[in-house]
């Protein structure tokens, strides 16, 4: 385990350190309580026939974004702990054996990916790269390879990080507000770097908040979900599922949803450049993590479909669930609910799914940053 000093870790006085310590203890206690209560969440969740869900790990606090290493160990970020952890299941009983701290002291780590024996983490204002050994669960050669990401060092910011097939890195930079003219071209964009965090380029722009990116199997098209302006009419807008084309513009802050004009900034000249979403997602559902299914465990008709965690916001019933976007001929055609029940009929929030990952067996894993749980989903033919 490495304690890694990064932005926001060193404070000016012992008083601030003490306050942070008390807050950390409080968060840990509350997360553990949520995690224990999370065992009861399972009974509230509804899945299609043949699928079952179980607790893989609980009491993590704010489990966030995930990836798997070459040995099928689940690796994830825990932003409020400033940690990157591994959850091995060596005895194959369907539950994490223990929580292995790989890195500590990172300022709000969120996005994570592994490529070529290197682990990459997107933190508040920088990208961390380290050598990683999946056999020993050890990290070495830890470096901040880029510290120029746009954002507030003191305000937690979620960033998605994805390694490309060409071993470059893609990092999302969320917009600073629903409706404002960007002061920097990086804001509301997806940035691209080489494997050392150099040669920065704007890969695509015009996004409000990209919290998930995924490559489709076969053709390796890049897909991302984007949210919309909060106070727009729900009948006129929807969350977006976008096919990401390099160097293209996707609307923010001038257009939302199906290129609906933002009344605050009327610029019709730009509409000819704005790429419409490929598919509409439920309004105000807050789409976060998304992954295509290419395994052999789920039914055959799941292959090539996209699963999205709708994190939910303001108790809107459109969120708080996992949906399945059905693809046909490489295009999204319709959606159906896959897992529901994280919000009750009387609008009691029980959990908020955040990210999705699949291991080599085709088993699904879900992080829930509200309850502190990580879930595992398997399928057995009824």
pLDDT tens-digit series, residues 233-280:
656 678 999 999 999 999 999 988 888 888 888 777 888 899 999 999
| Low-confidence winner among 261-270, 283-292, 321-330, 333-342 (lowest mean pLDDT) | 261-270
Mean pLDDT of 116-128: 93
User: What b/e sequence results for 295-322 when a residue is b if at least 16 CB atoms lie within 10 Å of its CB, and e otherwise?
Assistant: bebbeeebbbbbbbbbbbeeebebbbbb
User: What tokens were used for 135?
Assistant: 């056999």
198: nearest Cα among 150, 248, 147, 159:
147
Alpha-carbon distance of 304 to 207, in angstroms, equals 25
**Where along the chain do its domains lie?**
2-379
DSSP H or E segment with residue 225 = strand 222-226
User: What does the pLDDT look like over 334-379, one tens digit per residue?
Assistant: 999 999 999 999 999 999 999 999 999 999 999 999 999 999 999 9
Alpha-carbon distance of 157 to 133, in angstroms, equals 28
Q: What's the pLDDT at 2?
A: 56
Q: What share of the chain is helix, strand, coil (3-state, %, to 5)?
A: 10, 40, 50
Q: What's the pLDDT at 176?
A: 86
Contacts with 50 (C-beta within 8 Å, 6 or more apart), sequence order:
299, 379, 380, 381, 382
Strands 2-3 vs 100-104: parallel, antiparallel or unpaired: parallel
Q: Does pLDDT of 167 surpass 80?
A: yes
Alpha-carbon distance of 97 to 121, in angstroms, equals 23
User: What tokens were used for 177?
Assistant: 């507000």
- Write down the pTM of the prediction: 0.90
User: 2-379, what's its fold?
Assistant: Neuraminidase (2.120.10)
Q: Give the whole-number percent of the chain exceeding pLDDT 70.
A: 86
Average pLDDT, the chain: 87
Alpha-carbon distance of 36 to 81, in angstroms, equals 19
Phi, psi of 208 (to 5 degrees): -85, -55
User: What tokens were used for 366?
Assistant: 């879900």
Q: What's the pLDDT at 38?
A: 57
Mean pLDDT of 108-121: 96
| Bridge partners (DSSP) listed for residue 146 | 127
Alpha-carbon distance of 130 to 7, in angstroms, equals 17
| Bridge partners (DSSP) listed for residue 331 | 328
């Amino acid at each position: 385990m490495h304690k890694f000093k990064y932005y926001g870790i060193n404070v000016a006085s012992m008083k601030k350190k003490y306050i942070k310590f008390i807050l950390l203890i409080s968060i840990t206690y509350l997360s553990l309580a949520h995690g224990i209560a999370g065992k009861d969440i399972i009974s509230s969740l509804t899945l299609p026939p043949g699928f079952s869900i179980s607790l893989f790990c609980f009491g993590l606090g704010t489990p966030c974004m995930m990836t798997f290493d070459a040995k099928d160990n689940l690796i994830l970020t825990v932003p409020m702990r400033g940690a990157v952890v591994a959850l091995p299941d060596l005895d194959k009983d369907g539950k994490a054996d223990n929580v292995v701290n790989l890195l500590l002291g990172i300022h709000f780590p969120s996005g994570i990916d592994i490529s070529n024996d290197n682990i990459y983490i997107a933190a508040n204002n920088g990208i961390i790269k380290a050598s990683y050994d999946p056999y020993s669960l050890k990290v070495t050669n830890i470096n901040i390879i880029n510290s120029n990401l746009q954002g507030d060092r003191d305000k937690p910011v979620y960033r998605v990080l994805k390694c490309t097939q060409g071993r470059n890195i893609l990092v999302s930079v969320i917009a600073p507000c629903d409706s404002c003219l960007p002061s920097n071209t990086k804001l509301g964009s997806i940035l691209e770097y080489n494997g050392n965090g150099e040669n920065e380029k704007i890969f695509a722009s015009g996004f409000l908040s990209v919290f998930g990116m995924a490559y489709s199997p076969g053709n390796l098209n890049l897909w991302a979900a984007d949210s919309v302006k909060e106070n727009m009419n729900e009948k006129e807008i929807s969350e977006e599922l976008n096919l990401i084309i390099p160097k293209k513009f996707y609307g923010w802050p001038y257009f939302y949803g199906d290129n609906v004009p933002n009344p605050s900034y009327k610029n019709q000249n730009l509409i000819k450049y704005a790429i419409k979403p490929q598919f509409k997602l439920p309004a105000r559902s807050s789409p976060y993590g998304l992954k295509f299914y290419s395994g052999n465990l789920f039914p055959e008709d799941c292959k090539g479909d996209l699963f999205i965690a709708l994190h939910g916001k303001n108790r809107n019933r459109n969120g708080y669930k996992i949906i399945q976007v059905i693809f046909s001929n490489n295009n999204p055609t319709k959606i159906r609910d896959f897992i529901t029940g994280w919000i009750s009929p009387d609008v009691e929030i029980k959990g908020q799914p955040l990210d999705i990952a699949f291991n080599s067996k085709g088993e699904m894993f879900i992080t829930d940053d509200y309850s502190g749980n990580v879930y595992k989903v398997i399928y057995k033919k009824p």
